[in-house]
Structure formats: C-alpha cells, structure tokens
Amino acid sequence: MRKTMDSRASDEDPRGTSLRARGPEPAEAREPRRRRGEQPIDKEKVSAALQELAAEYARSPRSQAARLREVLDDVEAALTAGASHTAVLATLHAQGFTFTLRSFESTLGRLRKERRTDS
C-alpha cells in the first residue's frame, strides 16, 4: 500500500517539519513519570528520617557481641584485676546481657582475636 498525501501530512507539524525527525523532548522538559496515585517525595524529609534511623541503631547495637565489644576494655580491666569470668558475667547479666558462661568465654575469645588482628 502506498503512502498518500494524508498519511504523510499527519507526520508533519504545522511548520512543515517532520515530527519523526525532531525526536523526543529533552528529559529536563518532561515531568518525571509517576505511577498512578504515587506522591512525589520530599528528599530532605526522607534523608532526615534515614539519618535518624541510622543514629538510633548506632546507639543500640543489636547483637550481644557488639554490645560486649563496646565494654571490652572494662571487662579486660576487671579480669586483669582478678575478677573471675563468672563474676564478670554476673555483672553483665545485671546490665541486660544474656550470655551463658560458655558463650561469654567464646565471644570474649573471638573479640580478643579480632582485636589482635586489627592492631
């Protein structure tokens, strides 16, 4: 089927230039595409909320090993002064730790090894 004058005319704008030759609009001229019902985000608000979340997690590490790492110098000082592992563990239990004696000793060993390799 041959092109007629009518089909060719629909490919031109009123100035006579081909719409196909001009290409798409520049990206900065278009609005960003959004899904239906999607609201634009407030970047500063999202950033502030994520920074607050990070600060909250930094204040309270999740694992017992991470919490023990924070007080490791004090644990070592108590052990060096002559306190037994059981006495140190009882003190840690009073502060919210839930280690068993075996898991405390194992974690203490891993943290000491970690410290040696970091130095």
Q: Tens digits of per-residue pLDDT, 53-73? A: 888 877 766 799 999 999 999
Within a domain: 73: yes
Q: b/e string for 99-113 if b means 16 or more Cβ within 10 A? A: beeeebeebbeebee
Within a domain: 26: no
Within a domain: 110: yes
Do residues 64 and 107 make contact, with C-beta atoms less than 8 angstroms apart?
yes
Question: How many domains is the chain partitioned into structurally?
Answer: 1
Model pTM greater than 0.85?
no
Within a domain: 45: no
Within a domain: 80: yes
CA angle 75, 82, 106 (to 5 degrees): 45
Instruction: Print the domain residue range for 92.
Output: 62-118
Within a domain: 92: yes
- The DSSP element (H or E) to which 93 belongs, if any, is helix 85-94
Q: Tens digits of per-residue pLDDT, 34-47? A: 677 778 888 899 89
Within a domain: 40: no
Within a domain: 20: no
